[in-house]
Amino acid sequence: MSGVDDEAEIRGLLERWARAVHEGDLDAVLDRHSADIVMFDVPPPHRGARGIAAYRETWPGFFEWQRQGAVFEIESLDVTAGADVAFAHALLRCGTAAEFAEDAERRLRLTVGLRRDDGRWVVVHEHHSFATS
């Protein structure tokens, strides 16, 4: 199996992950993530969150911020899948109504790296950022 099937599987994986982020469901957010994940998050540390324990710690503060009524939803998603390695890039609406009132074009840019481990796709890298002037 490769190509179209893998792209569909990865698309589904990332859509479920984004929904879990929006629902603040930490177990589901972590479900398909590798022990050795490296995440470049919006805030520091500059060298990224390294390993699943550090990745896990990035989320509770985000969930708390999100509870003021922020959205977190995929607007567009592009997946490139090989037999055992894949990557995806996406644009997300991530912010509060006040933030979108100030800048309607604001989008979170997301890049994800995946590897097939023991037959299933897992996320080994995430890069989240906003453009800055």
* Contact positions vs a second copy (CB under 8 A): 38, 40-48, 78, 80-87, 89, 91, 105-107, 109, 111, 113, 115, 124-125, 127, 129-133
Q: Measured from the CB of residue 44, what is the shortest distance to a second copy in angstroms?
A: 4
Q: Based on CB atoms, which residue is closest to a second copy, 96 or 111?
A: 111
Could you give the 3-state DSSP secondary structure of residue 86?
strand
Q: Based on CB atoms, which residue is closest to a second copy, 105 or 118?
A: 105
Q: Measured from the CB of residue 27, what is the shortest distance to a second copy in angstroms?
A: 25
State how far the Cα of 107 lies from the Cα of 130, in Å rounded to an integer: 7
How, if at all, do strands 33-40 and 120-129 pair?
Answer: parallel
Tokens of 116: 């097939």
Q: Based on CB atoms, which residue is closest to a second copy, 20 or 49?
A: 49
Contact 20, 29 (CB under 8 A): yes
Residue 67: DSSP 8-state: T
